[in-house]
């Protein structure tokens, strides 16, 4: 898409309907082992608007006590996260341009009314690897800002099957989800949107 900041790559309709349905099946299997839960904001303990799970060697979590962090186990069950599905590892190999695999895949479920404020993905040690994001389900209005709060932003409407990556000079851009467009997809039985974000957490030498 023309006009996006340098370092952002947008792949509309990367996954066709059949591939999206298979991904949803994969996610259902993951959340049977690692159930969705409601994360908490650091300091305040305020619940976030999304429900969350992870797969991979590490998972991103947040709560009042420990703040933002990666850990190898589910914060509620204590069990290790399930592995990242092969189709997502192939996606990483195809679009990331990074010669080490992802270690975490954050799974966020947005209801019709859920939002995600502008934030940076900066809890990783490896910023030379991009964040690779997959949209499934209802459309969303995705906002992209700069490397600091405030200033101009631009928005992209992401649809089911779209992939977008943040790398290079855009790796630490602020971004968020302003709204979900209900009933714009029939992929998820109960509506809403699933967002998958693949991340490399540790440095290649670490």
Q: What are 23-74's pLDDT values in tens digits?
A: 999 999 999 999 999 999 998 999 999 999 999 999 999 999 999 999 999 9
Q: Does a structural domain hold residue 112?
A: yes
Q: Does a structural domain hold residue 195?
A: yes
Helix or strand (DSSP H, E) at 20: helix 17-33
Q: Which residues pair with residue 69 across a beta bridge?
A: 61
92-23-138 Cα angle (round to 5): 105
Q: What is the pLDDT of residue 1?
A: 54
Q: Does a structural domain hold residue 17?
A: yes
Q: Is 0.75 topped by the overall pTM?
A: yes
CA distance 151 to 145: 7
Q: What is the pLDDT of residue 130?
A: 98
Of the candidates 185, 202, 204, the one whose C-alpha atom is nearest the C-alpha of residue 20 is 185
Average of per-residue pLDDT across 117-132 = 96
**What is the span of the domain harbouring residue 152?**
8-199
Q: What dihedral do alpha carbons 64, 80, 188, 133 form, nearest 10°?
A: 70
Is the distance from CB of 194 to CB of 50 less than 8 angstroms? no
Mean pLDDT over each residue of the chain, to the nearest integer: 96
* Helices 17-33 + 86-95 axis angle, to 10: 120
Give the pLDDT band of residue 2 (cuts 50, 70, 90): low
User: For the chain, how many structural domains are there in total?
Assistant: 1
Q: Is the pLDDT of residue 206 over 70?
A: no
**Residue 109 is part of a domain; what is its CATH number?**
2.60.120.590
Q: How far lies 126's CA from each of 14, 65, 84, 130, 165, in Å? A: 25, 25, 19, 9, 15
């Amino acid at each position: 898409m023309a006009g996006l900041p340098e370092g952002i790559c947008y792949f509309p309709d990367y996954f066709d309907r059949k591939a999206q349905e298979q991904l949803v099946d994969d996610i259902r299997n993951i959340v049977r082992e690692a159930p969705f839960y409601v994360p908490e904001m650091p300091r305040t303990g305020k619940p976030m608007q999304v429900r969350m799970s992870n797969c991979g060697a590490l998972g991103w979590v947040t709560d009042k006590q420990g703040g933002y962090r990666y850990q190898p186990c589910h914060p509620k069950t204590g069990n290790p996260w399930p592995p990242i599905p092969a189709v997502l590892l192939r996606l990483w190999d195809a679009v990331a341009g990074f010669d080490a695999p992802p270690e975490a895949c954050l799974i966020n479920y947005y209801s019709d009314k859920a939002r995600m404020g502008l934030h940076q993905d900066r809890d990783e040690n490896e910023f030379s690897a991009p964040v690779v994001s997959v949209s499934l389900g209802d459309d969303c209005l995705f906002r992209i800002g700069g490397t600091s709060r405030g200033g101009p932003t631009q928005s992209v409407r992401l649809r089911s099957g779209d992939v977008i990556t943040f790398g290079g000079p855009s790796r630490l851009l602020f971004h968020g989800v302003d709204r979900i467009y209900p009933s714009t997809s029939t992929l998820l039985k109960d509506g809403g949107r699933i967002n998958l974000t693949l991340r490399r957490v540790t440095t290649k030498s670490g």
